[in-house]
Amino acid sequence: MNFKLFSASLLAMAAVGGAAAAQDADASWTGGYAGVYLGGAWQTGCASVSISSPDGTASQTASSCQHPAHFIGGGQFGYNYEFGDTHVVAGLEAGIGGGTEANETYTATTAGNATIPAGVYSLNGNHTPGAIGEIRARIGYDFGGKALVYFTGGGVFATSTGTPTLSYTSASLPIRTASFTTSGSTSTRTGWALGGGLEYKLTPQWSVKAEDIFVNTGNNSAPTVCVDTVNGAVCNEFNTGPVVIKGSGNSGNANIFRIGVNYKFF
């Protein structure tokens, strides 16, 4: 046997095997990753304002479904595991981000009664999202080592600050006005997220993704008090009752669409 030829054959086989193993590793989604995302969030719930008498026997409500939009951005990190030749990929992803503020305005008109002054009530709700955090599982299918189609779901928390203001205009002459505000309410709510997406490899390390996720973190509410008026007697009508004015909304229900980029680091 030619020893040199045998040695060369072994080296060639090792090289081919190593290249194949490297190709398999490059094609696999198994590994840890981190990245960033940008997108938009559209509120899907409706907000409302209620004007109630102290004993709860009389009330007026109005709602608004304007679905304000927010710009969002943030980052994520996670780990995927591909189950051999099944092409099934499972993983866990965590992320943190934030968004821009949004406004919505709506009115409630009431004829009034002994405890609810007649007039028009107009509420402007300024809502500023704070941190948006997620921990979600992912399960998907690998198409050709390049494209990963996946479903995702898990828990979410969101902080937000609401600073609603409300104005009142009397229904009869002389026209009287009053203004109401809150000091601002900051809340942290928890809920769930469910959606899906597509991730595509540009290189063995870099990938881009697009996903659509529905987030539900319930609703919140905040009372308002009379703090300013053209005629001081108007505030007395509300404060001696006192009439209860409250704004609330499902501002935590939103549809999120975002695009992102990930780097696989091992």
Region 187-197 average pLDDT: 88
Q: Over 80: is that where the pLDDT of 37 sits?
A: yes
Q: What is the pLDDT of residue 68?
A: 73
Buried b / exposed e over 246-260, threshold 16 CB at 10 Å, is bbbbbbbbbbbebeb
Check pLDDT > 50 for residue 255.
Answer: yes
**What is the share, in percent, of the chain residues with pLDDT greater than 70?**
53
Whether the per-residue pLDDT at 153 is higher than 90: the answer is yes
Indicate the pLDDT class of residue 43, thresholds 50, 70 and 90: confident
User: Would you tell me how many other CB atoms lie within 10 Å of the CB of residue 146?
Assistant: 12
Task: State both tokens at 211.
Answer: 């996903």
Q: Please say if the pLDDT value at position 187 is more than 60.
A: yes
How confident is residue 254, by pLDDT bands cut at 50, 70 and 90? confident
**Band of pLDDT at residue 236, cut at 50, 70 and 90:** low
Q: What SS3 class is residue 1?
A: coil
DSSP 150: E
What per-residue confidence (pLDDT) applies to 146?
94
Q: For residue 182, what is the enclosing H or E element?
A: none
Question: Is residue 60 predicted with pLDDT exceeding 50?
Answer: yes
Q: How far lies 7's CA from each of 17, 21, 51, in Å?
A: 15, 21, 90
- The predicted structure's pLDDT at residue 140: 97
Nearest one of 209, 252, 239 to 91, comparing CA atoms: 209
Judged against a pLDDT cut of 60, whether residue 242 lies above it is answered with no
Q: Give me the residue label for tokens 């000091």.
A: 183
Is it the case that residue 164 has pLDDT exceeding 60?
A: yes
* Predicted confidence band of residue 17 (pLDDT cuts 50, 70, 90): very low
Per the model's pLDDT, the better-predicted residue between 246 and 96 turns out to be 96
> Is the distance from CB of 81 to CB of 91 less than 8 angstroms?
yes
Give residue 77's pLDDT. 97
What ranges do the domains of the chain cover? 30-264
Question: Tokens standing for 9?
Answer: 């054959």
**Is the whole-model pTM more than 0.85?**
no
pLDDT given for residue 21 in this prediction: 39
Q: pLDDT band at residue 211, thresholds of 50, 70 and 90? A: very high
